Amino acid sequence: MLNVGLALSGGAVRGASHIGVLKALEEFDIKPNVISGVSAGSIIAVFYSAGYSPDEMEKILLNTDIKKYLKPKFPKVGFFSLEKLDIFLERYIGKIDLKDLNKTTYITVVNYPNGVVEYIKEGDLITYVKASCSLPVVFEPTYINGIPYIDGGIMDNLPVEPLIKEKSDYIIGSEVNPLGRFSDKPNILKVSVRSLFLAIRSNTEKSKKVCDLFIQPPELTKIGLFSIKDLKKAIDIGYNYTKELLKREKIDKLLK
């Protein structure tokens, strides 16, 4: 059996697609040994590594009032605070160290003052996941030891580097931001985030080439980054696309 590494990108609501991807992978008996995640992908990564099945993750997500975990703020450095994410993660995973998860798991963050991307596999799980989700403009930075950290996707939105470091034999990349036409009615927040994600796309190209299997469902262009009502749709898109891709590529036979 090959050592399989899985990278999960950021992508706000579209990140729910990773749950569908994991469900399809498991149906083909493909279970990654090492997982790296960034932003929304970091949340899915720690839940999976904590032992939750894709079905359990879907149930939790669809039965959670996401909006109550977003605390509005006067927009000094971000429109929302992620402080309530602590409650969500503590409820389902607990206050644990990343190294205590069932699988080797890396969380991608950016040290804002130094402008350096960091891949974290040890340390307070809640703190680093919050930092990885701290998308500039939308959320305020997360401070760790007095240093502001922001969303790792700004510099690496498909973190394959840790998987290479862990000597993965086969690398799977799940990326949820296919380029599509911007159709939402523009406002300052949507325009800012759209601009960020257009810039972020460029840093996935190098990582994409490293992947033995690259998963990027085109239908995700139909889902807005903050369209909470489409969470179930995102999961289904990820599942259906990955299932068909695996059938076509006959990946399960390759990995055995």
What is the longest distance spanned by two Cα atoms in the chain?
53
Rounded CA-CA distance 200/204 in Å is 7
pLDDT tens digits for 26-48?
999 999 999 999 999 999 999 99
Rounded CA-CA distance 222/230 in Å is 9
Rounded CA-CA distance 131/206 in Å is 24
Domain chopping of the chain, boundaries: 4-250
pLDDT beneath 50, residues of the chain? 74-75, 77-79
pLDDT tens digits for 14-31?
999 999 999 999 999 999
The CATH label, of 3.40.1090.10, 3.40.640.10, 3.90.1200.10, 3.30.230.10, for the domain at 4-250 is: 3.40.1090.10
* Beta bridge partner(s), residue 78: 137
Please tell me the pTM assigned to this model. Answer: 0.91
Predicted confidence at residue 21, as pLDDT, reads 99
Q: Where are the alpha helices (DSSP H) in the chain?
A: 17-27, 40-49, 54-62, 85-92, 125-132, 161-165, 188-201, 205-210, 231-249, 251-255
Residue with tokens 């003052």: 113
